[in-house]
């Protein structure tokens, strides 16, 4: 019964479902839930279906399996990256690592005005405003959204790699 | 590592230059330049970048010293300039880093989009019909609400001044002009000696500003600690 409820909930839920929701609804521990999710994935895999439950320690969601992604190009939604410029990606990186951060700080780091990049990222739902800085003028603070975590496949902001990790050379390793 | 050794030598030399000591050793410099010529620069990019920065700074200083100089170089300024350059270089590195991280994040997003979440009616919450807002009102309620609206502002913080019995500026102007007419010269401090409240003092000060502006009186204050002297303007 639990498997039916979990799969049905994941199918119709509005985005990933927090594990705490299932734990409360079905009166099971997180470990028990993860075991059930593994069992479901194993059963789905045995009958060779094109989707599975993607989960981490805190949330889960039904997603298509990645090896068939090229066959889904005509039906899957457009990438959130479509039309996203390099300056917008720079801005996203700055907000991700410096958040909560003001527009001024972003522009200082980039050396150019960043208004349009911020607007684009906001429109895509990757960033949002999160309060105001307590200084004269009260500038808005920007932070990343849950969609950003979902899209970058990160459990939380704490799991963002250290910036240095992007630049580790094989020699240093 | 050979490059690191040379960079250390360059740093030492830079410190000697910038400290304005006379210990510049031409031989030491030549030795370093010879090493630079012989070295193979297929080392890692970080060392190379640091070397280029140090080398450029050294050459710049040397070039400046070769120019005819009428007066001593201000080494403090040179150090400040170098600090600014370091800061600019650090910012460039920071920007470069975020630029690379942005691309790395895009790569993560691209990978994660290889698996697509089940189709969700993301907007269902908004598509649901909202319940009607029911608010019953009759004449009595309306009267109560109106009374509350028209009296509520008095309870709001920041609106207390509306009903406050403040002194009239015009009265203060008249009074000020009368005093000045009688005494010919006076001071602002004398004028406010008799007032009882801060508001009255403020009204007198505003009256003073207005009458000066209109040219009825002259007001002078030698410095902030002295009295404001007031006299009638006969011009």
Alpha carbons A40 and A35: distance in angstroms, whole number:
9
Beta-carbon contacts of B3 under 8 Å, excluding residues fewer than 6 positions away, are B39, B41, B43, B47, B48, B51
Q: Which residue of A has its CA nearest to B117?
A: A63
Task: Write down the pLDDT at residue B214.
Answer: 84
Cβ <8 Å between B125 and A151: no
Alpha carbons B58 and B62: distance in angstroms, whole number:
6
Cβ <8 Å between A153 and B95: no
Q: How far is CA A82 from the centre of its chain?
A: 17
Q: How is chain A classified by DSSP, letter by letter? A: -HHHHHHHHHHHSSS-EEHHHHHHHHT--HHHHHHHHHHHHHHHHHTT-SEEEEE-SSEEEEEE-GGGGGGGTTTSPPPTTTT--HHHHHHHHHHHHH-SEEHHHHHHHHTS--HHHHHHHHHHTSEEEEEE-SSTT--EEEEE-HHHHHHTT-SSGGGSPPGGGGG--TTT-
DSSP H or E run through B230: strand B229-232
Using CB atoms, which residue from A13, A69, A93 is nearest to B105?
A93
Question: For residue A94, is pLDDT > 70?
Answer: yes
Most confident of A87-101, B11-25, B77-91, B132-146: A87-101
* Closest residue by Cα to residue A154 from A56, A66, A20: A56
Alpha carbons B102 and A129: distance in angstroms, whole number:
20
Distance from CA of B181 to the nearest CA of A (A): 46
Distance from CA of B4 to the nearest CA of A (A): 15
Task: Write down the pLDDT at residue B121.
Answer: 53
B88-116 mean pLDDT: 85
Cβ <8 Å between B116 and A77: yes
Q: Which residue of B has its CA nearest to A81?
A: B106
Cβ <8 Å between A166 and B95: no
pLDDT band at A171 (very low <50, low <70, confident <90, very high): very low
Alpha carbons A66 and A52: distance in angstroms, whole number:
10
The reply to whether B104 touches chain A by the CB within 8 Å rule is yes
Classify burial at B203, counting beta carbons within 10 Å of its beta carbon; exposed 0-12, middle 13-18, buried 19 or more: buried
Q: Which residues of A touch B98 (CB under 8 A)?
A: 90, 93-94, 97, 109-110
Task: Write down the pLDDT at residue B161.
Answer: 62
Query: Which fold, A2-72?
Result: Arc Repressor Mutant, subunit A (1.10.10)
What CATH number was assigned to the domain covering residues A86-161? 1.10.10.10
Alpha carbons A76 and A53: distance in angstroms, whole number:
18
Cβ <8 Å between A153 and B94: no
Chain A contacts to B (CB-CB under 8 A): 10-16, 51, 54, 61-66, 69, 72, 76-77, 79-81, 84, 86, 89-94, 96-97, 109-111, 150-154, 163, 166-167, 169, 171
Alpha carbons B50 and B45: distance in angstroms, whole number:
9
Cβ-contact B118, A10 below 8 angstroms:
yes
Cβ <8 Å between A64 and B101: no
The reply to whether B111 touches chain A by the CB within 8 Å rule is yes
- Can you give the residue ranges of every domain in chain A? 2-72, 86-161
Query: Whole-model pTM above 0.95?
Result: no
Question: For residue B74, is pLDDT > 80?
Answer: no
The reply to whether B108 touches chain A by the CB within 8 Å rule is yes
Q: Which residues of A touch B110 (CB under 8 A)?
A: 79, 81
Cβ <8 Å between B117 and A62: yes
Q: Which residues of A touch B125 (CB under 8 A)?
A: 14
Q: What is the mean pLDDT of chain A?
A: 86
A2-72 and A86-161, same CATH topology:
yes
pLDDT (tens digit, 9 = 90+) per residue, A143-166?
Answer: 999 889 888 888 888 888 887 777
* Closest residue by Cα to residue A147 from A124, A163, A120, A115: A124
DSSP H or E run through B185: strand B185-187
Which residue is associated with the tokens 């040179």? B78
Mutating which of A9, A107, A151 best tests the B interface, going by the most B Cβ atoms within 10 A? Answer: A151
Task: Write down the pLDDT at residue B31.
Answer: 67
Distance from CA of A24 to the nearest CA of B (A): 23
Q: Cα–Cα distances in Å, from B93 out to A109, A167, B88, B105, B195?
A: 10, 12, 9, 18, 65
Gyration radius of chain A over CA positions: 20
Task: Write down the pLDDT at residue B233.
Answer: 78
A41-66 mean pLDDT: 90
- Which residues, listed in sequence order, are joined to residue A129 by a DSSP beta bridge? A142
CATH class of B169-232: mainly alpha
Cβ <8 Å between A62 and B102: no
Using CB atoms, which residue from A66, A90, A109 is nearest to B115?
A66
Task: Write down the pLDDT at residue A141.
Answer: 92
Using CB atoms, which residue from B101, B103, B115 is nearest to A63?
B115
């Amino acid at each position: 019964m639990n498997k039916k409820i979990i799969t049905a909930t994941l199918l119709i839920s509005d985005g990933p479902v927090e594990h705490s929701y299932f734990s409360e609804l079905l009166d099971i521990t997180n470990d028990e839930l993860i075991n059930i999710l593994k069992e479901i994935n194993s059963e789905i895999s045995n009958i060779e279906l094109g989707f599975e439950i993607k989960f981490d320690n805190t949330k889960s969601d039904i997603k298509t399996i990645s090896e068939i992604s090229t066959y889904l190009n005509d039906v899957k939604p457009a990438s959130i990256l479509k039309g996203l410029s390099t300056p917008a990606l720079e801005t996203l990186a700055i907000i991700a690592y410096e958040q909560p951060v003001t527009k001024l700080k972003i522009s200082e780091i980039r050396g150019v005005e960043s208004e349009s990049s911020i607007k684009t990222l906001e429109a895509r739902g990757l960033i949002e405003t999160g309060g105001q800085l307590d200084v004269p003028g009260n500038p808005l603070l920007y932070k990343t959204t849950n969609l950003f975590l979902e899209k970058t496949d990160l459990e939380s902001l704490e799991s963002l790699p250290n910036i240095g990790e992007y630049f580790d050379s094989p020699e240093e390793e | 590592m050979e490059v690191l050794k040379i960079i250390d030598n360059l740093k030492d030399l830079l410190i000697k230059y910038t400290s304005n000591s006379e210990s510049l050793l031409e031989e030491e410099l030549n030795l370093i330049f010879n090493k630079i010529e012989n070295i193979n620069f297929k080392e890692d990019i970080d060392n190379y970048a640091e070397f280029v920065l140090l080398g450029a700074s050294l050459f710049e200083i040397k070039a400046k010293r070769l120019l005819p100089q009428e007066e001593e170089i201000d080494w403090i300024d040179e150090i400040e300039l170098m600090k600014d350059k370091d800061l600019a270089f650090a910012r460039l590195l920071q920007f470069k880093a975020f630029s690379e991280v942005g691309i790395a994040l895009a790569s993560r997003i691209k990978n994660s989009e290889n698996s697509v979440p089940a189709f969700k009616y993301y907007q269902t919450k908004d598509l649901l019909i909202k319940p009607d807002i029911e608010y019953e009102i009759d004449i009595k309620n309306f009267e109560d609400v109106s009374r509350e609206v028209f009296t509520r502002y008095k309870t709001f913080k920041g609106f207390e001044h509306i009903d406050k019995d403040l002194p009239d500026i015009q009265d203060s102007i008249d009074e000020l002009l009368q005093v000045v007419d009688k005494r010919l010269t006076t001071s602002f401090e004398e004028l406010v000696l008799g007032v009882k409240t801060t508001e009255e003092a403020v009204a007198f000060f505003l009256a003073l500003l207005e009458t000066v502006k209109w040219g009825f009186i002259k007001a002078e204050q030698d410095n902030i600690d002295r009295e404001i002297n007031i006299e009638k303007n006969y011009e």
